Amino acid sequence: MAASGGQELITVDRPEHPRLERDPEICETASADASGLAHVPDGLARPQTEGEVSELIRLAGAFGEPVTAQGLRSSTTGSSVAFEGVALSLEAMNRVLFVDPERRVARVEAGVNLGEFKRRLAEDGLFYPPDPTSENECTVGGTVATNASGSRSYRYGATRPWIRGIRVVTADGVTHDLSRVAARKNATGYFGLQDPIDLFIGSEGTLGIVTEVELTLLPAPPEPIAGFAFFQDWREAVRFVQTADASPTLSPRCLELFDRTALDLVRSEPGGNAIPDEAGAAISFEEEAGPEHEEDVVLRWIEALAEATPLADRAFLAQTNAEKLTLRTLRHAIPARMNEAGARVVRAGGRKISTDFAVPLVHLETMMEETYRLGAERFPGMVIGYGHVGSGHPHFNFLAEDPAMLETAEEMAMTLARRAIELGGTLSAEHGIGKVKAHLFRELYPEWMVGAMRAIKERLDPKWILAPGNLFEETR
Ligand SMILES: Cc1cc2nc3c(=O)[nH]c(=O)nc-3n(C[C@H](O)[C@H](O)[C@H](O)COP(=O)(O)OP(=O)(O)OC[C@H]3O[C@@H](n4cnc5c(N)ncnc54)[C@H](O)[C@@H]3O)c2cc1C
């Protein structure tokens, strides 16, 4: 209680939660994600239980302090950077609660590392399909919050269909235990709201903090064959992808592109020496075969490649698990090297701008043609194309080394996203909107649609304390 000019002012000291650190050095450890954006949060909360998450959120709500959830901060959109208020890391909530092989269901805390969890499942002959390239660097909760996907989403879809239930703490500190509606048919109102789980999946921390996730599992699939096929240029590679997608004899579970610049980036990585000098593009593919069908499946791929490219005989087929791992590591090295390059140019006012658009496969060649043309006409820096082309979803990275290049790259990203939407595609197929694409989201989608999403946010988080800046540029 304090007196001032005869008037009595009542000041309430803010009680600090024991799991909340304010030491700037500790807070700095939670300041950046893989986007190259960074900001030291005002505090770092590291709850160990759902009850603590709820107390922390109640306290934050009472004092109007924003809270941004963090998994392992592998986001490429700045979505896990807390530009206002505190960061809330789920890292310490990392218990696998149960795995039920009979029902093929598992329940985990949100901070469980996805890659570690999948390896544990594999030991029991079980399989959880979502496979973001970053699976060893992200949490299950983070993949739910972003509806992450990966190369095998070509066959199995993104994270959403594999989520049976979640526990989530909303901005009022209340915990909700949500299970997916199990009825086969549902005509109860607006689709996106019929099953509230779907509202939280992909909500990028803006509607609630996911504390537990219940997942659908599959029996481990037959051992896949895996290969890298080389092409003269990206066009030949994309045409092969369209052929493989429609083929009655091939059944790929992933089809991933690397353009010439991407190949050059990883030539010196382990396995990179298999890349022929004349290769202008590559497609990595996998098909589940099992030992009894392996030979037959390999022959069918060789036949299809022989019709598609004069470089068919340079294809590399992984024989052992170690070779398959090398191929996956090589694939992973591309975004990893580009994220590092992006982080290096931040100090000079630059950044890596990455597209995340997807288009129907039938328009992929047109979309890529226009992207390369725009890059050649307007962008003086490195342009690299790689990614999930089987799903019509290549990532183009523009390495902007200074503010002028950054402005050009941003304008190009806007043009390309607009074009992808015109062609029946989307602005973001997997990495989400976060902070770096919020302006594109506002600009490129109908006002009523963005407004309806804001209204849902307003209803669940009236003080806008959760993940400010994600999805919507304005924080209120
Ligand atoms: C090299 C590299 C490759 C990548 N490849 C892919 C890919 O193939 N596919 C893909 O989809 N993504 C990919 N990503 C992006 C990223 O890994 C995914 O978005 C991932 O799902 C983020 O998980 P995370 O645990 O790191 O979450 P964070 O990055 O910490 O957070 C991401 C978002 O989720 C929110 N969030 C995190 N945890 C919770 C929670 N428990 N409750 C509520 N909100 C939460 C955060 O607020 C933020 O909005 C890649 C990233 C890198 C660096």
Residue 456: which residues within 8 A CB-CB, separation 6 or more?
A: 199, 207
- 113 with 257, same domain: the answer is no
Q: Kindly state the average pLDDT of the residues 269-286.
A: 93
- 260 with 381, same domain: the answer is no
325 vs 302, more confident? 302
Residue 30: which residues within 8 A CB-CB, separation 6 or more?
A: 41, 44, 70, 73, 82, 87, 89
User: Has residue 288 been placed in a domain?
Assistant: yes
Which residue has the least CA distance to atom 37 on ligand 1? 142
Pick from 99, 215, 104, 106: which is nearest to 163 by CA? Answer: 215
Q: Return the pLDDT at 12.
A: 66
Question: Ligand 1: which of 80, 131, 284 to mutate, judged by most atoms within 8 Å of the beta carbon?
Answer: 80
User: What is the tens place of the pLDDT at every residue in 196-210?
Assistant: 999 999 999 999 999
Question: Ligand 1: which of 31, 50, 70, 136 to mutate, judged by most atoms within 8 Å of the beta carbon?
Answer: 70
Distance, in Å, from the CA atom of 259 to the CA atom of 231, rounded to the nearest integer, reads: 9
146 vs 338, more confident? 146
User: What is the tens place of the pLDDT at every residue in 235-277?
Assistant: 999 999 999 999 999 999 999 999 999 999 999 888 888 899 9
- 231 with 199, same domain: the answer is no
Distance, in Å, from the CA atom of 66 to the CA atom of 62, rounded to the nearest integer, reads: 11
Q: Return the pLDDT at 30.
A: 98
In this model, does residue 35 exceed pLDDT 90?
no
User: Has residue 329 been placed in a domain?
Assistant: yes
User: Has residue 197 been placed in a domain?
Assistant: yes
139 vs 330, more confident? 139
User: What is the tens place of the pLDDT at every residue in 341-366?
Assistant: 888 898 899 989 999 999 999 999 99
User: What is the tens place of the pLDDT at every residue in 70-122?
Assistant: 999 999 999 999 999 999 999 999 999 999 999 999 999 999 999 999 999 99
The CA-atom distances, in angstroms, between 289 and each of 250, 292, 299 are 11, 7, 12
Characterize the bridge pairing of strands 316-318 and 105-109: unpaired
In this model, does residue 4 exceed pLDDT 50?
no
In this model, does residue 291 exceed pLDDT 70?
yes
- 257 with 356, same domain: the answer is no
User: Has residue 441 been placed in a domain?
Assistant: no
Q: Token pair of 84, please?
A: 């206002």
In this model, does residue 45 exceed pLDDT 80?
yes
User: What is the tens place of the pLDDT at every residue in 435-466?
Assistant: 999 999 999 999 999 999 999 999 999 999 99
Q: Which atom of ligand 1 is nearest to the CA of 149?
A: 11
Cα of 78 vs centre of ligand 1, distance in Å, is 10
> What does pLDDT average to over the chain?
94
Q: Which of 336, 363, 378 is the last residue of a domain?
A: 336
Question: Ligand 1: which of 138, 162, 170 to mutate, judged by most atoms within 8 Å of the beta carbon?
Answer: 138
- Helix 403-422 and helix 364-378, axial crossing angle in degrees, nearest 10: 160
**Total domain count, the chain:** 3
* Percent of the residues in the chain that have a pLDDT greater than 70, as a whole number: 97
- Residues near ligand 1 with C-beta < 6 Å? 33-34, 68-76, 79-80, 90, 110, 132-134, 138-139, 141-143, 145-146, 148-150, 204-205, 209-210, 335-336, 339, 430-431, 467, 470
37 vs 127, more confident? 127
pTM over 0.75: yes
- 246 with 326, same domain: the answer is yes
User: Has residue 173 been placed in a domain?
Assistant: yes
439 vs 11, more confident? 439
Q: Which of 221, 250, 277 is the last residue of a domain?
A: 221
- Residue 13 belongs to a domain with what CATH number? 3.30.465.10
Q: Return the pLDDT at 324.
A: 87
In this model, does residue 475 exceed pLDDT 70?
no
- 423 with 310, same domain: the answer is no
- 123 with 49, same domain: the answer is yes
User: Has residue 306 been placed in a domain?
Assistant: yes
- Residue 296 belongs to a domain with what CATH number? 3.30.70.2190
In this model, does residue 6 exceed pLDDT 80?
no
Longest dimension (CA), the chain: 92
- 194 with 235, same domain: the answer is no
Cα of 26 vs centre of ligand 1, distance in Å, is 21
- 242 with 160, same domain: the answer is no
Q: Return the pLDDT at 376.
A: 97
Q: Which domain holds residue 325?
A: 224-336
pLDDT band of residue 473 (cuts 50, 70, 90) is: confident
User: Has residue 435 been placed in a domain?
Assistant: no
- What sign results for the dihedral spanned by CA atoms 412, 416, 422, 428? negative
In this model, does residue 326 exceed pLDDT 50?
yes
Q: Return the pLDDT at 191.
A: 87
36 vs 198, more confident? 198
User: Has residue 442 been placed in a domain?
Assistant: no
Q: Return the pLDDT at 9.
A: 62
Which residue has the least CA distance to atom 4 on ligand 1? 134
In this model, does residue 39 exceed pLDDT 60?
yes
Q: Token pair of 175, please?
A: 């915990």
- 87 with 160, same domain: the answer is yes
Q: Token pair of 334, please?
A: 């591309």
- 70 with 213, same domain: the answer is yes
Cα of 142 vs centre of ligand 1, distance in Å, is 5
Cα of 211 vs centre of ligand 1, distance in Å, is 15
User: What is the tens place of the pLDDT at every residue in 221-231?
Assistant: 999 999 999 99
Q: Return the pLDDT at 88.
A: 98
Q: Return the pLDDT at 5.
A: 47
